[in-house]
């Protein structure tokens, strides 16, 4: 008795959708290439141009070590702008994240909040600083802080809302079964689960905001960017090279410290959650839940 080897086998996978998707991506790349008017001959001059800039900044006259103290002070100002802006974004984005989470808030309200967060994220910090806050509060770090803080609300709110939507429903149901009110459910059932990851997002956003703060000085919003722009405009390349070096070194150091803190927070919360050790639940009775 012979058996048909094709019986019971799944049909071979169809690659039509994949091929169509690749074709669509290729068409978009070609259209973008011609739309932005890419000139291949000018791209060939890019390495020599970068080499000339590097030579002017770091080789021809050497770095301007006399501008190092000034550069460090301005970089500290950029870090302060980034830190305060991150705090503004963190504090204001957390309640918006709860309002934007579909498992916490009704669909109509959460959709509206999500669109507000998307609109905030769509406007870059430099546009907020130049068009909105500098005319309102004047030149200086105050405008840069507000621009970074408002823009951070959109990104942190969206990321935090997605974290909240992925919570384990068990603690939430336990809090409700214990008679907790709506706010107490969020405080004891949701917030302890999401805060480690949300804080990690805050730290990561702080790293990004340091780079943004270094750029905002170009439009007069404080920090090291203004001094760097002036050095380039007036052809003071040794000073510009020193300021760029300060930005690079300090940013790497801050990223290293912030990255270590983020890993510690995430690993610590993961170890506590998955180590098999008993997790002490909040005392809802003592908290006034019942």
Please write the tens of the pLDDT for every residue from 210-269.
989 988 888 888 888 888 888 888 888 888 889 999 999 998 998 888 888 888 887 776
Length of the chain equals 290
CB 124 within 8 A of CB 61: no
- Quickly state the pLDDT bin for 281 (edges 50, 70, 90): very low
- Quickly state the pLDDT bin for 6 (edges 50, 70, 90): low
- Quickly state the pLDDT bin for 105 (edges 50, 70, 90): confident
* pLDDT the model gives residue 76: 92
Average pLDDT over every residue of 82-111 = 90
Burial 208-232 (b: 16+ CB within 10 A, else e): bbbebbbbbbbbbbbbbbbbbbebb
Least confident of 77-81, 149-153, 185-189, 192-196: 185-189
* pLDDT the model gives residue 269: 65
CB 212 within 8 A of CB 125: yes
Residue spans of the domains in the chain: they are 69-274
* pLDDT the model gives residue 284: 36
* pLDDT the model gives residue 237: 86
pLDDT at residue 145 above 90? yes
* pLDDT the model gives residue 11: 62
Average pLDDT over every residue of 101-122 = 88
CB 76 within 8 A of CB 251: no
d(CA 173, CA 180): 10
For domain 69-274, give the fold.
MetI-like fold (1.10.3720)
> What would the DSSP string read from start to end of the chain?
----TTTTPPPPPP-HHHHHHHHHHHHHHHHHHHHTT--HHHHHTHHHHHHHHHHHHHTSS---GGGHHHHHHHHHHHHHHHHHHHHHHHHHHHHHHHHH-TTTS-HHHHHHHHHHHHHHHHS-HHHIIIIIIHHHH-SSHHHHHHHHHHHHHHHHHHHHHHHHHT--HHHHHHHHHTT--HHHHIIIIIHHHHHHHHHHHHHHHHHHHHHHHHHHGGGTSSSHHHHHHHHHHTT-HHHHHHHHHHHHHHHHHHHHHHHHHHHHHHHHHHHHHHSSPPPPPP-TTTTT--
What is the biggest distance separating any 2 CA atoms in the chain, rounded to whole angstroms? 93
- Quickly state the pLDDT bin for 271 (edges 50, 70, 90): very low
Which of 110 and 36 is assigned the larger pLDDT? 110
- Quickly state the pLDDT bin for 143 (edges 50, 70, 90): very high
Q: What is the mean pLDDT of the chain?
A: 82
For 55-72, write each residue's pLDDT tens digit: 877 777 777 888 889 889
pLDDT at residue 272 above 50? no
CA distances from 117 to 93, 127, 167 (A): 9, 17, 21
pLDDT at residue 282 above 60? no
What contacts 24+ positions apart, CB below 8 Å, involve 234-239? 236/64, 237/53, 237/56, 237/57, 237/60, 237/61, 238/57, 238/60, 238/61, 238/62, 238/63, 238/64, 239/64, 239/67
């Amino acid at each position: 008795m012979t058996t048909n080897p094709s019986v019971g086998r799944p049909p071979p996978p169809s690659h039509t959708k994949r091929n169509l998707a690749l074709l669509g991506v290729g068409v978009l790349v070609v259209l973008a290439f011609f739309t932005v008017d890419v000139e291949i001959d000018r791209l060939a001059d890019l390495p020599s141009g970068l080499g000339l800039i590097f030579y002017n900044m770091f080789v021809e006259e050497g770095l301007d070590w006399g501008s190092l103290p000034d550069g460090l002070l301005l970089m500290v100002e950029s870090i302060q702008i980034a830190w305060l802006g991150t705090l503004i974004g963190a504090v204001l984005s957390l309640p918006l994240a709860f309002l934007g989470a579909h498992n916490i808030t009704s669909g109509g309200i959460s959709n509206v909040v999500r669109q507000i967060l998307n609109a905030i994220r769509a406007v870059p910090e430099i546009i907020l600083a130049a068009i909105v806050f500098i005319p309102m509060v004047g030149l200086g770090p105050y405008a840069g802080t507000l621009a970074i803080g408002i823009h951070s609300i959109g990104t942190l709110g969206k990321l935090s809302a997605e974290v909240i939507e992925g919570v384990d429903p068990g603690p939430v149901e336990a809090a409700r079964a214990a008679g907790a009110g709506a706010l107490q459910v969020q405080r004891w059932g949701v917030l302890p689960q999401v805060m480690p990851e949300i804080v990690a997002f805050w730290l990561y956003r702080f790293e990004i905001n340091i780079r943004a703060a270094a750029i905002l000085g170009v439009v007069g919003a404080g920090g090291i960017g203004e001094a760097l722009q002036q050095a380039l405009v007036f052809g003071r390349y040794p000073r510009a090279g020193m300021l760029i070096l300060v930005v690079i070194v300090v940013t790497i150091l801050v990223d290293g410290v912030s990255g270590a803190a983020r890993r510690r927070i995430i690993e610590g919360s993961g170890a506590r959650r998955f180590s098999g050790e008993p997790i002490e639940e909040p005392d809802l009775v003592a908290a006034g839940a019942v």
